[in-house]
Structures are given as C-alpha cells and as structure tokens.
Amino acid sequence: NTKELSVDHRLTQVCELLMETIPYYDWVGFYFKNGDKEELKLRSFAGEPTDHDIIPFGKGICGQVAVSNANFVVPDVKAQNNYIACSIHVKAEIVVPLFVNGENIGQIDIDSHTADPFSKEDERFLEFVNEKVAEILE
Ligand code: SME
C-alpha cells in the first residue's frame, strides 16, 4: 500500500543521507522484526547490497541486539566470534535498537571501513535518528 511505500522511501533517504554525510559510515541499513518470526529482515539500506537480508535472532551483531535491546558497538569486527561478515572491507560496526512504544521492533546497522570510528556521540546521534524514525512508523 501507498503508506508502506512512502515509509520505505523515507527510510532509504535516511540511510543515503547518513552515508553521504558521515565519511566513516560506509553501509547504513534498517532491519526490522519479520512479523511473528524469530528473525530480522532488511527493509532499507544504502551502500553495497548484502546477502544477509534475513538474520535469525541471536546471530551476528544484529541478531544479538534483537534480543539484548542494547546498543552494540564493535570497534574491531575481527575480535567478534558471533559476527556475520557482509564485506571484506568492513572493520567496525554499530547497531542501535529502534523502539516504538518501548518495544524493540528493529534497528539501525552501520558498517565502517575505518577501524574503531564510533564514539558515544554516534550512539547518542543514532538513538536520536531512531526516535525520529519511530515517529514516521507510528
Ligand atoms: N554484520 C552484521 C550483519 C549485517 S551486515 O553488516 C549488513 C551482523 O554481524 O549482524
């Protein structure tokens, strides 16, 4: 339906804007819980296409955030044993959960080709972005 299409379009615009504006954001995507299934589904992204459009809860950084409800900052992806590699160029990752009415319904996921680039400022900024995104989802 039209509303879904326009939300998808706006989410893609958010991904593109973040990727173009912040030099160390090299892939930006939104994953959402896939209906009643215990998995995440990629809804919108900017950057190279990924094979990992479905991620089971608990798997990888994204799947862990789906169950922990907490930000996950990875300064060095090579040091993670529960990690799903999307590109050999990725050195670091940040995942911030997206809450609607207090419920973790999805997340923003950002990959970086720069080592250890993410600070508390990125966390606060992405929490703010997710709050704004929650408003367009309601
Ligand atoms: N690296 C993620 C998978 C998603 S890709 O980064 C786009 C993970 O470990 O969950």
Identify which of 67, 93, 110 to mutate to test ligand 1's pocket (most ligand atoms within 8 A of the CB): 93
Which amino acids bring their CB within 6 angstroms of ligand 1?
27, 29, 50, 52, 55, 60-63, 83-84, 86, 93, 109, 111
| ipTM of the complex as predicted | 0.97
Q: CA dihedral defined by 17, 104, 4, 87, rounded to 10 degrees?
A: 50
Residue 35, pLDDT above cutoff 90: yes
What are the CA-CA distances from residue 137 to residues 4, 43, 105 (Å)?
9, 13, 10
pLDDT tens track for 10-24? 999 999 999 999 999
pTM, two decimal places: 0.96
Using DSSP's 3-state secondary structure scheme, residue 36 falls into coil
Nearest CA to ligand 1 atom 6: 86
pLDDT tens track for 42-91? 999 999 999 999 999 999 999 999 999 999 999 999 999 999 999 999 99
Domain positions in the chain are 2-137
Q: List strand residue ranges (DSSP E) for 13-121, in order.
A: 27-33, 39-46, 54-56, 72-74, 92-100, 103-112
Query: What CATH number should be reported for the domain whose range is 2-137?
Result: 3.30.450.40
